[in-house]
Amino acid sequence: MIFLQAIASLVMRFGLAVPFYRSGLVRWDGPFELSPATAFLYEYDYTLKWPAQVGLVEGPITLPYPEIFAWAGSFAEICLPAALVIGFATRLSALGLLGMAIVIFMVNPASWPNESLPWAAMAMGLIAYGPGWLSFDKLIKSSWKKR
């Protein structure tokens, strides 16, 4: 049974990581060079669309420092899935990706049944049950217990 749980956790980690990693790859033009489309997305699309669309506020609000948010979000879309795949800081990585899934839902509420809901379910499962036996978290925990 432990082997089945380890495989299920590994599959959930890959299933959650792949779409975010692929999305993160298109945000870059080169090493440490964001694409112009990414800057535009954070400056205009996220700023003007989601507050009025979800009904949180009356009019659009502006995102302060969109270039910083673009860099942070683009780095997170690469680093968090990579950490999740190897099982390093799994619960924290899954929490970050859950936050991204919530933002994606707020930007596009129609994405809930096909994208945001499965991602949120996988992230919450990993947060609740952990990375499983096949992970760096387990290796670190077992080496820490031996001390």
Contact residues for 128 (Cβ-Cβ < 8 A; gap 6+): none
Residue 125's nearest CA partner among 20, 5, 18, 21 is 5
Q: Residue written as tokens 């990706």?
A: 97
pTM of the model: 0.85
pLDDT at 54: 52
Percent of the chain that is helix, strand, coil (3-state, to 5): 75, 5, 20
Whole-number Å distance between alpha carbons of 98 and 106: 12
Measured CA to CA, the distance from residue 56 to residue 137 in angstroms comes to 38
CA dihedral 62→75→86→108, nearest 10 degrees, is: 30
Place of tokens 């795949």: 85
Six token digits for residue 136: 């760096």
Question: Can you give the pLDDT of all 147 residues of the chain as single tens digits?
Answer: 688 888 999 999 999 999 999 999 999 998 889 999 898 888 877 665 555 555 555 556 666 788 898 999 999 999 999 999 999 999 999 999 999 998 888 777 788 888 999 999 999 999 999 998 999 999 999 898 887
Residues 6+ apart with CB under 8 A from 3: 133
Sequence ranges of the domains in the chain? 2-145
